[in-house]
Structure 1
Amino acid sequence: MAARLHSRLGCSTISFRHQALPHALKTIAGLGFSEIDLGALPGVCDHVPYVLDEAAVADVAAVVSASGLRVRSINGDIGDLNAPLTAAEQRARARHLDMLVALAGATGARAVVLPCGALDHQPLSSLADDLDRVADELIAAAHVAAAGRVELWTESLHFHRLCCDITRAEALTRRFGPEVGIVMDFSHIVASGADPVDFVDRFGPRIAHVHIRDAVPGNINLSVGNGAVDFGRGLKALAGAGYHGHFSLELETRDLTHNERPAAALRAGHVISELI
């Protein structure tokens, strides 16, 4: 009998973003996963419509419910949090956040995840001002999420975004409190040249969720086993720091064909399950 996947290990629908949502959920469930992160990232994963209204929330929630899969988080994007907005743009952002929180509630998700700034390393103003603005937006979003009885998390180190290294991630995290949880992504840490163990040492008690993907410096898009990430060492550090949260395979990789993705996800699931 094949080894079972660990109960704390899920699979992001981003791993199968080339499939329509019902198909992606069927693929994930068929591999033996019982939990997902639901991708809602415009331009990356369109499983949740960017123009999100009550009808779209109900439609997506119904599809997820029919799959039988649990939802750990809604991985969303409401725009560049370091960008100053007009009043109309701010209202549109608030509406989008409200709908993501509603979707989290409708699917039973624990949290909404938002990015750590624009897809650009260069600040729009000064770095300090941009980090202040991102932190203020995350804190405000956390209050909206809390009113909807869900949590607010951010991927505080994202190789392609404003907080592209561990120094910026730490500077951002100093600007908010425990109302915002931290998502640790092994691939972004290693791609940035940082060490996952150092990340755990700095942020351990604040880590709310963990994304799994392989990487080498400068490249986040590798399948588990094809990069330089020492998952055993990193997962041991998380356990030593008292981490009891969940993990999600976020296999937005470019070293596989679409047909190879299910088998690669299953292999990765077994590797990580043995290490948790």
Structure 2
Amino acid sequence: MNRNRIGVCTLSFRMLELEPALDEIKALGCTGVDLWQVSPYYDNHGHVASDAPASDVDRVKTLLGDRDLHLIHLASYPGMKFRGASEDERQADIAWGKATIDLCSRLASPIMRCLPGPGERLDELDSLVESMQVLADYAATRGIKLVFETHGSGPIMQTESIQLILDGVARDNVGLLYDPGNLAANALYRKIPQAFADRIVHVHLKSVDLGGGAKAIAWADPDGGAVDFDWVLNALNDIGYDGAFAIEYENYQASCTVEEVRTGVQSWVDFLATR
């Protein structure tokens, strides 16, 4: 695989500030960056905020440019209040989404992630659809695509729910971030590529160890865990996917170190280099 298609999510190096995190990504030989947004869902931690002053945004652009890195995706969080919330909360979330789209435009990030609301049940679909249509139309004026990430803790895990959402929103600039590791349980990840061949616009790579039927810990060894990544890469090749891949080392144990992340991501870089 061409290394220009391989990136790393800065969430992997969440224990570092942005500059040393980008140094790590550069040293690993990757060129793409998934940038982790500051959000209340991580106690307001992250590497860039949607309300960042112009000087902070310029600094991010300089840090990327000095290392010959480019943004491939903003790992952002608007959308949790698009369902199951008050109207005031929903409107505030839409406003946050627009501000995040503006941030993507300022940073030249082509893709932005949205959340589909809480829980696995697809209640209040109309509210989600209406909210996403507002954001999609706003994003379209800036040439930005919005994606839902396939995830085992929300409605973007079953093909039926995904289809209902995408059909409801009915916008060409809304698609999927395919994360097979999030759908490792019961091999749900195998259902996505063919079903949504023309809607996958970004991919996350992480291997997961399943314990007791649930995701126990995410880790970066592509040859282990519950996902057959050779199958994943072949399936994506079969549907003509030619976009980027972002390695996401998502170990939330307090003992996780920079060296552990570095070693884990390197195993992915080596794996992809032979494919």
The TM-score bracket by the shorter chain reads: 0.7 to 0.9
Q: Cα deviation per residue 1:14-66 (whole Å; 9 max; x = unaligned)? A: 11111111111111011111111111152445112365455554444444344
Three-state SS of the structure 1 residue aligned to 2:187 is coil
Identify unmatched segments of 5+ residues in structure 2: none
Aligned twin of 2:230: 232
Q: Distance in 2 between matches of 1:68 and 1:251?
A: 22
Normalization by structure 1: what TM-score? Answer: 0.84
Q: Cα deviation per residue 1:182-211 (whole Å; 9 max; x = unaligned)? A: 1100111213x2343321111111111111
Q: Distance in 2 between matches of 1:111 and 1:208?
A: 8
Q: Distance in 2 between matches of 1:158 and 1:74?
A: 17
User: Is the counterpart of residue 161 in structure 1 residue 158 in structure 2?
Assistant: no
User: Is the counterpart of residue 257 in structure 1 residue 246 in structure 2?
Assistant: no
Contact 1:222-1:254 within 8 A present in 2 as well: no
Q: What letter matches 1:236 in structure 2?
A: N
Contact 1:12-1:37 within 8 A present in 2 as well: yes
Worse-superposed segment, 56-65 or 212-221? 56-65
Aligned twin of 2:84: 83
Normalization by structure 2: what TM-score? Answer: 0.84
Three-state SS of the structure 1 residue aligned to 2:168 is coil
Write the mapping of 1:123-162 to structure 2, written as runs, cut at 5 A: 123=121, 127-129=122-124, 131-155=125-149, 157-162=150-155
**After TM superposition, what 4+ stretches of structure 1 lie above 6 angstroms from structure 2?**
none
Three-state SS of the structure 1 residue aligned to 2:113 is strand
1:62 to 1:90, Cα distance in 2 relative to 1, 3 A? farther
Q: Distance in 2 between matches of 1:186 and 1:117?
A: 20
Worse-superposed segment, 6-15 or 135-144? 135-144
Identify unmatched segments of 5+ residues in structure 1: none
Q: Distance in 2 between matches of 1:94 and 1:109?
A: 19
Contact 1:37-1:75 within 8 A present in 2 as well: yes
Which of 192, 200, 207 aligns to 1:214? It is 207
Aligned twin of 2:271: 271
Q: What letter matches 2:78 in structure 1?
A: I
User: Is the counterpart of residue 13 in structure 1 residue 10 in structure 2?
Assistant: yes
Q: Cα deviation per residue 1:157-191 (whole Å; 9 max; x = unaligned)? A: 21123434444333323323333021100111213
Q: What letter matches 1:248 in structure 2?
A: A
1:90 to 1:166, Cα distance in 2 relative to 1, 3 A? closer
1:29 to 1:136, Cα distance in 2 relative to 1, 3 A? same
Q: Distance in 2 between matches of 1:132 and 1:194?
A: 29
Worse-superposed segment, 202-211 or 247-256? 247-256
Q: How many angstroms does 1:268 deviate by?
A: 0.9
Q: Cα deviation per residue 1:45-96 (whole Å; 9 max; x = unaligned)? A: 5112365455554444444344431001111112412133434x45533442
Q: Distance in 1 between matches of 2:234 and 2:129?
A: 30
Contact 1:52-1:99 within 8 A present in 2 as well: no
User: Is the counterpart of residue 183 in structure 1 residue 177 in structure 2?
Assistant: yes
Q: Distance in 2 between matches of 1:115 and 1:72?
A: 18
Q: What letter matches 2:111 in structure 1?
A: A
